[in-house]
Structure 1
Amino acid sequence: MQGAAEAEPRQAGTGQGQHPAGQAAAGGLCPYWRTPEESPGGFPAGHTHLLRRIQAMRARTSGTGSRHRLGSSEMAQKSSLAVPYAVPVLLVCFLACVATGVELSVNNHAADFTLSTSSGTPISLSCLVQNSSKAEELLWYRGDGQVDLKDGNKVNISNICISPATETDNGVTFTCKLRRDQSVKVSVILDVQFPPNVTEDETVKAEEDKDVTLTCNAKSNPQGQATWYKNDTILTLQQNRYQVYQTSEVFQLSITKVVKSDNGTYTCEVKSSLGTGRKNFHLIVEGNKAAAKQ
């Protein structure tokens, strides 16, 4: 990874906020809890309505209903054929597995987020496995490229450092993933802020009656605003003579049919809350060669 080095790995933990079935869920197993008494930690919170449904189905099929009572042989036959709570138990299992599924967090964020910083500042990202008591291997990606992690910095907790962050890291996404299930992931978008960075001064030569465009490339975050000067005085934009165009990184001044009086130094000044960048264009208007030949 360009401009990045790994931080020293910290001692891997076992995860936080573990559910009693965390270990089983992490291993792909799910305990078939039927009642709170059979569960090591009681029924999962909010699932007591499923327990009531299971108990009601047991009651309806137990042969103690008010309509009729089954004989002993019929009772044995019915109980051997029916599995009254199979579907609810599977549903409870599914919900328990979801509730205790492995999760990741990056810098204490369990969902994707944007991290703002200044250019030249080191960034540390720490990915932690949650809800698992087993060893879980982690992966880091910078965009689509996988980051090379050292041994000892891959299991349950993994740290990377971008040192220092530069303007080329602005907008880049870093993603931590669980190796065994890469749909379990958390992404960080870097918002690296830096002052306007303009290119070097230029000398521009043009013939009379020709159109001239001065292009100023200036990257900045947050985006800057441009002001044009001629010989250190703010340029008055005369209609049908000057046109200004700009994007987030490109600022242009077009002059229609230049004349000798357009000679001078034009300055593109891009200013943001973090600073100012300036680029000078030394415009030299020469005589029209085609007209001179006539």
Structure 2
Amino acid sequence: MFVSVALLVLIQSAAVVPVTVTSHSPGVEVRESSDAVLSCEFSTENDKNPRIEWKKIDKDVSFVYFNRYFTESFRGRAEIKGATLQLKSVTQSDAGTYRCEVSAPQDTITLGEINVTLTVLVPPHTPSCDVPSSALTGSLVQLRCRDHHSIPAAVYTWYKDNRALHIQQPNATYTIDEKTGVLTFQKVSRSDTGQYHCEAKNRVGPGKSCSGTRMQIDDLNVAAVVSGVLLLVLLMCLCVFGVFYGRRHGLFSRHRGR
């Protein structure tokens, strides 16, 4: 008798499944302008018609789907199938974390929820490249390359005269940070003269390159510098002599007028 009662209680408790919410894909990645499916599945204990809500979790929580209607920014480009949300032609503004909430007032546990993160992937754009047109030998020179739009963030490859500059190059006179796109010459030499361009790449689409720019490295003209210094000294001496001569001969006296 005791065994039968215990078995009956066990069967009844096994049949009680309060509202639960799950997702096949809690992390979704799609390319920009593609459709995104945010999976949400649920089961209830007693409630046959639970309330489905979707919210976007940013700095503030905003409704996506509420009271069986989509909010204005999602109206006409979103659908609900069961509790699964489908967004059409997603943009960067759609990226973020979404919460699927299922309310079942007739269940023992009345609320279940699951978060789904949407990442909108963007292929590389043509990067902006900053290449100095000239520099003097022995000086520090940096070339910069940046693509602000690609997601995930691009990695960068620099080219000199259409040949890739390898990051791990023995006895190289330069360093390359492939994440920031900065090519650094601690002390440039005339052999570094050439045409440089950069390519931005990520796993979403084909790489994009900026147009090439020639960088000319010249030696410091010592003779011209010495001549310039001597000329400056000569001019300063003439000025000093002129002032001294004027004062000596009363050219600056107030009694002689202007």
Query: Which residue of structure 2 aligns with residue 136 of structure 1?
Result: 50
Distance 1:156 1:192, change over 3 A: closer
CA drift of 1:102 comes to 0.5
Distance 2:3 2:170 in 1: 81
Match of 2:144 among 203, 211, 215: 215
Distance 2:98 2:155 in 1: 30
CA drift of 1:254 comes to 1.0
CA drift of 1:125 comes to 3.4
CA drift of 1:176 comes to 0.8
Structure 2 stretches lacking a partner, 5+ long = 71-79, 230-258
Cα deviation code 1:87-115 (max 9, x no counterpart): xx7x998x558x41112345xx3xx6222
Matched, 1:239 2:153: no
Which ranges of 4 or more aligned residues in structure 1 deviate by more than 6 Å? 180-183, 286-291
Match of 2:185 among 240, 251, 255: 255
Q: Which amino acid aligns with 1:235?
A: L
TM-score of the superposed pair, with normalisation by structure 1? 0.51
* Percent identity for Structure 1 against Structure 2: 21
Q: Count matched residues.
A: 204
SS at match of 1:204: coil
Distance 1:52 1:289 in 2: 104
CA drift of 1:229 comes to 0.9
Distance 1:123 1:289, change over 3 A: farther
Matched, 1:186 2:186: no
Distance 1:55 1:195, change over 3 A: closer
Query: Which residue of structure 2 aligns with residue 104 of structure 1?
Result: 21
Distance 1:235 1:126 in 2: 44
Conserved 8 A contact 1:177-1:184: yes
CA drift of 1:278 comes to 1.1
SS at match of 2:210: strand
Distance 1:206 1:182 in 2: 70
SS at match of 1:147: strand
SS at match of 1:253: strand
Across the aligned residues of Structure 1 and Structure 2, the Cα RMSD in angstroms comes to 4.4
Q: After superposition, where does 1:1-294 map in structure 2 within 5 Å?
A: 52=3, 95=13, 99-106=16-23, 109=24, 113-125=26-38, 127=40, 129-131=42-44, 132-144=46-58, 145-149=61-65, 151-153=67-69, 157-158=82-83, 160-166=85-91, 172-178=96-102, 184-205=112-133, 207-208=135-136, 209-218=138-147, 220=150, 226-235=156-165, 237=169, 239=171, 241-247=173-179, 250-272=180-202, 274-280=205-211, 282=213, 283=215, 285=217, 292=225
